[in-house]
Homo-oligomer: A and B are copies of this chain.
Amino acid sequence: MKISVLGTGQVGRTLAGGLAALGHEVAVGTRDPDATLARTEPDAQGTPPYSRWQDDHPGVRLLALADAGAHAELLVNATSGTASVDALAAAGVGERDGLVVLDVANPLVFSGDGLSLSVANTDSLAETLQRAFPTARVVKSLNTVNNAVMVDPARVPGEHVMFVAGDHAAAKEAVTGLLDELGWAGRVLDLGGVRAARGMEMYVVLWWHAARAVGTFDVNVALARA
């Protein structure tokens, strides 16, 4: 499948690399590819410059957002939550009818006193995207785990699960197929419509606290059930 991943941070890179390794034709989309490739220093979060990752992944093309959007049969939103609407607009998602958008982003806001969300409770990032791009088919998934776990669920032992939410059944099937390829087969739980993304995004605050408490981000939810 032709897949474009919007976002050149650690999440975008890991997903692009993981999907390319499965044989998909993957492009990464960014606002200004030349500027992205010109950086030689780690960013403020300590992420190494993209050019180094690019050298290790010559099969993944880095494209401007509009070109990445045109390439995509399926589009992955791995931009920061507060930039996502603008990035998808620049990728032309508004002009694409029925494009599946896998939204893995979280609307995280880190401030001096901890973590909060830029949208929560009565709305979610996934719903914001679905409203902004009504002809797209937004599916929320993968946002509940660390990027390394997204493409390698076996990092975490046990019967842990991956949630999906979205209003379009066929789009959820397409995403579930990708999840299965990434190693999530038999672990996917459909929570229903895109509104359930509220729970998936708000959970990330608990996940963050729990990961700190246990000392690793290789942590996920298993649903113990009677």
Q: Which residues of A contact B (CB under 8 A)?
A: 113-114, 116-117, 120-122, 155-160, 163, 165, 189-192, 195-196, 198-200, 202-203, 205-210, 212-214, 216, 218-226
- Chain A interface helix/strand/loop/mixed: mixed
The answer to whether B214 and A209 touch across the interface, beta carbons within 8 angstroms, is no
Q: 9 A-B contacts, Cβ less than 8 Å apart?
A: A116-B198, A156-B225, A156-B226, A157-B225, A158-B224, A163-B206, A191-B206, A191-B212, A221-B221
Which residues of chain B come closer than 8 Å to A165, judged between CB atoms? 209
Given contacts A116-B121, A120-B121, A203-B202, A209 and B224 within 8 Å (CB-CB): no
Which residues of chain B come closer than 8 Å to A222, judged between CB atoms? 158-160, 221-224
The answer to whether B224 and A220 touch across the interface, beta carbons within 8 angstroms, is yes
